[in-house]
Amino acid sequence: MAYKPIVILSVCIQIVNGITSADIIASHNYPVEIHTVVTRDGYILTAFRIPDSIFCEQSGAKPAVLFQHGMTASSDVFLVNGPRDGLVFMLADACFDVWLSNTRGNRYSRRHVSLDPSQEAFWRFSWHEIGTEDVAASMDYILATTNQSALHYVGHSQGCTTLVVLLSMRPEYNQSVKTAILLGPPVFMGHTRTLGQIVLRDLIMSMPDCEFMFHNRILNKIMNGICEPYVMRVYCSTFFMIVNGKFSDHLNTSAIPLIVATLPAGVSSRQPKHFIQLSDSGRFSLFDFGILRNLIYYRRLTPPDYPLHNVRPLTPVHIFYSDDDLSAAKEDVENFAASLPEAVMHRISTPSWHHMDFVHSMTVAEVINKPVIEIFRRFEQPTRTISI
């Protein structure tokens, strides 16, 4: 039996750090709800819901879809492209009930029942806990709220990793996932070579448990102002792409001002540290605390691997990957797929398609969004007919 979290509904939460996901959704004339989920270890998470669309003529219950963002991002990352190219909006138009979660520690989820972000204990988590606790609690909340037994899942970057963690460590949640869409999944990382990893590696590995790459309202507002003029977008785009992997010919530069206004969203230092450990070892394993604490936590010198044989959602996992993604290298993704009981591969061979293009490309509607909607449509048939 899945754990049932404390659930609180609120439609009046205000985030004081500038523009919010609710602002973006409402600005495009979509209805928006703000929900609060409390995990079993006490973190208070914010989720945004798009329950309907003026383009959907269907009444009654709609299939639920959960979106999970990457490490330095928040729910904002799925919204900045707007209705024309944003998968969340396209799904709402196609009569899906869209939910966007936010992981512990980011700009929307900085509360706890007993801890404060100023305390080191608040930041003692990696994406392992995000998977086993945050994603689990979000699923339970959505399914309880919508009175459904399973949902569709879309994860980008770390949002893929956290689902794999949940399904491998708490396999009872496999029955709650109709379809799993993994966009650029960083699981095995032996071939990962991003500039950020190279430059920041020593700093990250030496850090205590603390907030890293925090969201700053003033700085983000300044960056938004700098990148707003059209002539500056090429420079802002170049910097953004280099930090996130390599140069891309596909980035939607019109979204850059909003991207820099919302990133980074705030993470724990353990999250990038855990990814670096994967890169060093070439394994997909639990967090390495060092020999002494490993013996205490795991009763062995090194952390165990995640049991990927447990990852068995209701349909085979769909993996979207590219030849030029340095954060989720082709060789590593194919190794990951081979380790799963079953997977459907969607290879993007377009030159210079990099990690953030899965959500920010100018052609994302054709390359990613429409195929994803078709995957969901096939699952929902024969009771539903959806026009894309």
pLDDT digits (tens, 9 = 90+) for 33-55: 999 999 999 999 999 999 999 99
Task: Report the amino acid identity of residue 204.
Answer: I
- Among residues 272, 277, 274, 279, which one has the least CA distance to residue 329? 279
pLDDT band at 144; cut points 50, 70, 90: very high
Rounded CA-CA distance 381/327 in Å is 35
Return the domain boundaries, the chain: 6-380
For 244-283, the pLDDT digits (tens) are: 555 567 777 677 777 777 778 889 999 999 999 999 999 9
pLDDT at residue 2 tops 50: no
Place domain 6-380 in its CATH homologous superfamily.
Answer: Alpha/Beta hydrolase fold, catalytic domain (3.40.50.1820)
Q: Are 169 and 131 in contact (CB under 8 A)?
A: yes
For 58-83, the pLDDT digits (tens) are: 889 999 999 999 998 999 999 999 99
Share of the chain above pLDDT 90, in %: 71
Token readout for 65 is 């879809």
Q: What is the per-residue pLDDT for 190?
A: 93
Rounded CA-CA distance 51/56 in Å is 10
SS3 per-residue string spanning 113-143: CCCCCCCHHHHCCCHHHHHHHHHHHHHHHHH
Q: pLDDT: is 307 or 213 the higher one? A: 307
Q: Are 105 and 12 in contact (CB under 8 A)?
A: no
Q: What is the per-residue pLDDT for 104?
A: 98
pLDDT average, residue stretch 169-176? 99
Q: Which helix (H) or strand (E) holds 153?
A: strand 151-156
What sign results for the dihedral spanned by CA atoms 241, 69, 177, 2?
positive
pLDDT at residue 15 tops 50: no
Catalytic residues: 157, 325, 355
Q: What is the per-residue pLDDT for 10?
A: 33
pTM, 2 dp: 0.88
Rounded CA-CA distance 42/133 in Å is 10
